[in-house]
């Protein structure tokens, strides 16, 4: 059995869309394979409307321990130098390079902190 979230990941659709179109909270591999093989009209339309500019899901991987999770990307996310699980400390990451400053951004995915190293004097968003 797979969860609705896993089905949404594999179908490359938002979780909200999976809920709106009544995907069950748990599915068998056979049910998902059938949906991928013979997609319903709403899934065909969703894929046809995709522009390819923004991914539906991104893989987030901890730079320290390698833990990976998938999340919906947010417009406000900058380019991260590192991603770290919330329980890792600053000393688990490589030191900040000379001439750079570091800031951390909480709330990336379900359990990550985004680390952004910026050259001093460079504008940050």
* 116: DSSP letter: E
pLDDT on residue 21: 93
Q: Give pLDDT tens digits for 114-124.
A: 999 999 876 65
The reported pTM is 0.69
Query: Both ends of the chain: CA-CA distance in Å?
Result: 42
Q: Give pLDDT tens digits for 10-34.
A: 998 888 999 999 999 999 999 999 9
pLDDT on residue 29: 93
Low-confidence ranges of the chain (pLDDT < 70): 122-125
């Amino acid at each position: 059995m797979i969860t609705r979230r896993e089905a949404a990941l594999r179908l490359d659709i938002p979780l909200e869309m999976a809920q709106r179109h009544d995907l069950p909270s748990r599915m068998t591999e056979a049910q998902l394979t059938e949906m991928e093989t013979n997609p319903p009209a709403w899934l065909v339309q969703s894929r046809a409307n995709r522009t390819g500019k923004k991914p539906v899901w991104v893989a987030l991987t901890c730079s320290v321990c390698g833990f990976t999770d998938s999340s919906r990307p947010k417009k406000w996310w900058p380019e991260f130098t590192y991603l770290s699980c919330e329980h890792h400390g600053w000393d688990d990451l490589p030191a900040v390079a000379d001439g750079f400053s570091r800031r951390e951004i909480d709330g990336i995915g379900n359990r990550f902190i985004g680390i952004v190293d910026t050259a001093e004097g460079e504008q940050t968003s």
